[in-house]
Structure 1
């Protein structure tokens, strides 16, 4: 209690001091206002930009991998010992080139046997034809019975059938002998050989002898989200604002894994007809010329596909587009009362220093450009020209 008594005069004088401060501040104007209220009352000078129509390509950047235009596994069609490899691994081979030779002795012997059987059948046919002529003559003179005549006719038919079967056996043996030379089914670059001379080859073996890849042109297989494709189709629909491009001229460009651009332009040539249920994506395929073999099968690439165009596209300068804490994009406009209006928009991709706006803005509307970081929704703003803003900046 003794200590509090020392501060009693000061506590008694505090109201008088506060009152005096209010009187002094009244001499210089009104009492200090709330900072937020002061900010709302201050007019911010800004410049605006009008939304004008631009022709904008509707594009998507998708990831994918390169795939051979055509590829074929080289496989044996007969069993036998591999006697010779006739190509250099990794080189270009033409369709019909001999790649491997399988030991042919067994198949050559089978062909000789088939030819011998054919000769025997043809000889038997000749004899049967002569017998048939004699018996037919005797049958007319009633020297033989009907049964004898029917038997010789049946024998003649059997002899003809035997000759045909022998010819088929000869052709089969010829085919098997030809297949001892394993030929290239397509033209392209061949991989390393999986078998060496002396290996036993089998028609039913699991592993191919080698693989041939045709890489000019080359395919790029892409995956696109089915949800994104549905949204894009709405844009490209007859009642949408986007003008659909000719499907035969849907162009595509490639970006390599190191960020460099592939010099040749390709085009989209296939769109999947079903959705992958595990990934919810649709397969797209683009085709690119590849004369110098710069693209090899299996490369990871990024592909930009131009799927259409918007003749009245809206481009908003990137500096005028802001994001909130949730990542939503918005811009500021000036309402009829001269106050800043926040408008949420949707953007697709960047074009130079602008964002392509797909929803939220209309042609002819003006958005705040310079000074946008100093305005708040509902705060008063004053539009000035770009020349006035430039002079004000230079004056500082």
Structure 2
């Protein structure tokens, strides 16, 4: 009887030990599950260093390569208009003809005056030569000889003056033919045949605009220009040739990229006091006349490349009250805060030049729910997007 009781006690003790062991394992599993459930799920983007081309997008407007307002240089009545409005004209092509009768008469009068003065000069020269031997033998007075020399000099001056008058008359006659000073597209004519025009009048006859090539003036913040020059000087920015900077163009009206590339010509040496910007001018080929003066465009200026840079989504970057930027990085299931240096924006990303390392997992979601040293369960954005797509597909199939 005692043996039976002893065996029953041992069996009960064994059952109690087993139960306690099972309870301990259960408590451990429950604690692990609870700890795992406390880790905040976050999406991460793995960043790697790369060389990034620096492209600055700047607002701008197109400007004519050359523009010439045509005005008359002599008075008269317009006899002919020798061009089609809106057509292309070549440099030197005749545009207008002003009545020439008055100017032809002035040329003839100037020619006659030149002939008269030449005749007077010939007579003065002959007199002076006649007196040369006589003055030596004192057959004539010195005063008479000096008068002859003076008359010869006056004759030469009169001939030169008459020649200048003739040249001026010929120039005025040539001005009656109004020609194109440059090649380009000509506008409408503000004057027609029979209209009276005056020399150097304020109103123009027409305008010629050269459209190929064409200028594009863009503006850049003065501070950005200084930063770029400093970066190039220190070697942080590579691959920029100041004499051959390529520019692309986006047309605001259509949002399309202009098919031809341009070249930066120069930048102003002063900063606009009102806007704090510097004007940059680029020239673009315009063979089809697509670009017209005054169009709004966006210039994309290539400003070299930045080596060992990181592309970080903008939503992942936060700023402190002092303006310094930082990001949260997932490392071994913990949140780590890293200060970063931002160069500029590039699409939906920030271009970070310092503060990150290859392979860092930058947190891009649930940032408001975490803090440094917090537990997180990172999931790459690609996998998260794939899971979401599968869920959406299953939901649509269920419907």
| Aligned counterpart in structure 2 of residue 163 of structure 1, from 129, 154, 159 | 159
| Aligned counterpart in structure 1 of residue 212 of structure 2, from 216, 223, 230 | 216
1:198 aligned residue: 194
| Aligned counterpart in structure 2 of residue 174 of structure 1, from 164, 170, 174 | 170
| Aligned counterpart in structure 1 of residue 265 of structure 2, from 269, 278, 281 | 269
Q: After TM superposition, give the deviation of residue 302 of structure 1 in Å.
A: 1.2
Q: After TM superposition, give the deviation of residue 284 of structure 1 in Å.
A: 0.6
2:237 aligned residue: 242
The 5-angstrom pairing of residues 46-65 of structure 1 reads 48-65=44-61
1:96 aligned residue: 92
Q: After TM superposition, give the deviation of residue 197 of structure 1 in Å.
A: 1.6
Instruction: Identify if the C-alpha distance between structure 1 residues 369 and 308 changes in structure 2 by more than 3 Å, giving closer, same or farther.
Output: same
| Consecutive unaligned residues in structure 2, runs of 5 or more | 1-25, 28-33, 392-399
Tell me if the contact between 1:375 and 1:381 (Cα under 8 Å) persists in the aligned partners: no
Q: After TM superposition, give the deviation of residue 283 of structure 1 in Å.
A: 0.6
The question of 1:142 aligning with 2:138 is answered yes
Q: After TM superposition, give the deviation of residue 192 of structure 1 in Å.
A: 0.8
Instruction: Identify if the C-alpha distance between structure 1 residues 328 and 258 changes in structure 2 by more than 3 Å, giving closer, same or farther.
Output: farther
2:299 aligned residue: 303
Q: Distance in 1 between matches of 2:379 and 2:176?
A: 87
The 5-angstrom pairing of residues 307-318 of structure 1 reads 307-317=303-313
The question of 1:255 aligning with 2:257 is answered no
Secondary structure at the counterpart of residue 116 of structure 2: helix
Instruction: Identify if the C-alpha distance between structure 1 residues 261 and 328 changes in structure 2 by more than 3 Å, giving closer, same or farther.
Output: farther
Instruction: Identify if the C-alpha distance between structure 1 residues 283 and 393 changes in structure 2 by more than 3 Å, giving closer, same or farther.
Output: closer
Q: Distance in 2 between matches of 1:387 and 1:206?
A: 68
Q: Distance in 2 between matches of 1:260 and 1:348?
A: 23
Q: Distance in 1 between matches of 2:211 and 2:388?
A: 59
2:20 aligned residue: none
Q: Distance in 1 between matches of 2:184 and 2:324?
A: 51
| Consecutive unaligned residues in structure 1, runs of 5 or more | 1-27, 30-37
1:184 aligned residue: 180
Spell out, residue by residue over 1:57-88, the C-alpha distance to the aligned partner (whole angstroms, 9 max, x if none): 11111111111111111111111122211111
Cα RMSD after superposing both structures:
3.4
Q: Distance in 1 between matches of 2:61 and 2:49?
A: 36
The question of 1:361 aligning with 2:355 is answered yes
1:4 aligned residue: none
| Aligned counterpart in structure 2 of residue 118 of structure 1, from 114, 129, 142 | 114
2:40 aligned residue: 44
Greater alpha carbon shift after TM alignment, 126-135 vs 56-65: 126-135
Instruction: Identify if the C-alpha distance between structure 1 residues 187 and 155 changes in structure 2 by more than 3 Å, giving closer, same or farther.
Output: same
Q: After TM superposition, give the deviation of residue 381 of structure 1 in Å.
A: 2.2
TM-score w.r.t. length of structure 2: 0.79
Q: After TM superposition, give the deviation of residue 322 of structure 1 in Å.
A: 5.4
Spell out, residue by residue over 1:40-67, the C-alpha distance to the aligned partner (whole angstroms, 9 max, x if none): 9812355655432212111111111111
The 5-angstrom pairing of residues 78-89 of structure 1 reads 78-89=74-85
